[in-house]
Amino acid sequence: MSDDHKKGNENVHTDFSNRMTYGEYLGLEDLLSAQKRLSPHHDEMLFIIIHQVSELWMKLILHELHAATEAIRENQMQSAFKMLARVSSIQKQIIQAWDVLSTLTPAEYMEFRDQLGQASGFQSYQYRMIEFALGYKTPHVLKIYKKDPDLHKRLNEAYRAPSLYDAAIGKLSEAGLPISAHLLDRDYTELYERDSTVEKAWSHIYKNVDQYWDLYQLGEKLVDIEDSLQQWRFRHMKTVERIIGHKKGTGGSSGVGYLKKVLDHRFFPELWDVRTTI
């Protein structure tokens, strides 16, 4: 080794007999041994890793969304904006993951698809919790998780909790903007539907940006997140169509047909409508 190469490395720790290593801190032994193929086919490893990585990103999205919702309630808006901006950055990573999965051809996928049985991304409980956190409450999906009582309880709690958008609407009211009373103490298990008072409030904010700068920023952060989520859904739909066409999903859904349908849902409808009305 040259002297130049040695410089700066002479103090690197090499004795870890009584110290925690990088691998131990990250739990890499468990993490890297979690890819258990059910077939001998080479490309099943790609399928498993893409979905596991996406689930890790979703775990971080939930971590940030829950903290951002609480920060909004406590009027810590700058902290909330930082967290929501991070969510948008994470979403870019998940969207790009579809490009990698798209390298899986129909013939390759069919080599191991039967091994999945009825297991499907449709059953991703973290994705459901993200939908719940954003206000999209669908009670029928809870049945999927009855097999695990603890998980079912967690999902029920998320299902009944106010969403990020509920917290945002609460801030509109606190700012003195007239909001329908029933929205401020509503049944959070019900699917949110657009409300004229919320649309008028956002319209007023977007016409008076300097006066409502924090709320204007909040509205744009919400639009960023929904925009990215819809891009994720679109890439999901196109990847599924590319690999299995219009076959039914392994979980029993209509596959591409179902994925196209959910593209029509809007999480924050008034924030999209206001773009037309202002």
Binding positions = 47-51, 109, 113, 236, 250
Measured distance CA(236)–CA(253) in Å, rounded: 14
Count CB-CB contacts under 10 A for residue 179: 20
Cβ atoms of residues 72 and 80 within 8 Å: yes
Binding site per annotation, positions for substrate: 47-51, 109, 113, 250
Cβ–Cβ under 8 Å, residues 217 and 228: no
Structure token pair of residue 20: 């925690």
Contact 189, 131 (CB under 8 A): no
Give which of 77, 122, 112, 92 is closest to 249, Cα–Cα.
122
CA 201/CA 276 separation, integer angstroms:
14
**Exposure of 6 in the CB half-sphere (CA atoms within 13 A):** 4
3-state per-residue secondary structure call for 21-66: CHHHHHCHHHHHCCCCCCCCCCCHHHHHHHHHHHHHHHHHHHHHHH
The DSSP symbol for 19 reads S
* Rounded Cα–Cα distance for residues 278 and 274 (Å): 6
* Distance of alpha carbon 118 from alpha carbon 133, whole angstroms: 26
Cα separation of 88 and 61, whole Å?
9
Known binding-site residue numbers for heme: 236
